[in-house]
């Protein structure tokens, strides 16, 4: 692994840990590893293997590719977004990210039409309930 990538992963792990308000010992315990080993990963003095990267991503609830992200603001914003999302919402985000720009646009258009449809149906139900009460 390139040193630049190793240092980026280290910085991102630290950002994620800090954004969760946890210390190294707490994360290390969740990962079932010694705190000093986690500290080496977080400082960039040791490079985590693929299995460890996978465990870290699962611990934080983020996709593995987020650990090598080069934009610092994206790390925390994506992590907090995913943290607040349900499993279905996470699946939609993953699907959306895999789409081409054209398909993303089409999906957004379809989503907007579905929102309009839901509002229309909700208004119909509300009107029906008011008519029943009369």
Q: Quick one: DSSP state of residue 61?
A: T
Q: pTM (2 decimals)? A: 0.59
Task: Check residue 36 and report its DSSP letter.
Answer: H
Residue 85, both tokens: 């999302």
Print pLDDT tens along the chain (134 aa): 889 999 999 999 998 888 878 899 999 999 999 999 999 999 999 999 999 999 999 888 788 888 998 887 777 666 655 554 567 777 887 788 888 999 999 999 999 999 999 999 999 998 888 888 77
d(CA 42, CA 34): 13
**Crossing angle, helix 50-60 and helix 3-19, to 10 degrees?**
20
- Residue 44 belongs to what H/E stretch? none
């Amino acid at each position: 692994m390139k040193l630049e990538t190793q240092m980026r992963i280290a910085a991102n792990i630290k950002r994620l840990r800090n954004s969760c308000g946890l210390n190294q010992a707490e994360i290390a315990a969740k990962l079932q590893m010694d705190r000093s080993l986690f500290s080496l990963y977080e400082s960039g003095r040791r490079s985590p293997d693929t299995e460890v990267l996978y465990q870290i991503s699962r611990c934080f609830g983020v996709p593995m590719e987020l650990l090598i992200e080069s934009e610092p603001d994206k790390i925390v914003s994506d992590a907090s977004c995913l943290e607040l999302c349900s499993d279905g919402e996470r699946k939609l985000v993953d699907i959306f990210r895999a789409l081409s720009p054209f398909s993303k646009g089409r999906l957004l258009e379809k989503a907007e039409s579905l929102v309009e449809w839901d509002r229309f149906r909700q208004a119909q139900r509300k009107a029906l309930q008011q008519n029943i009460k009369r």
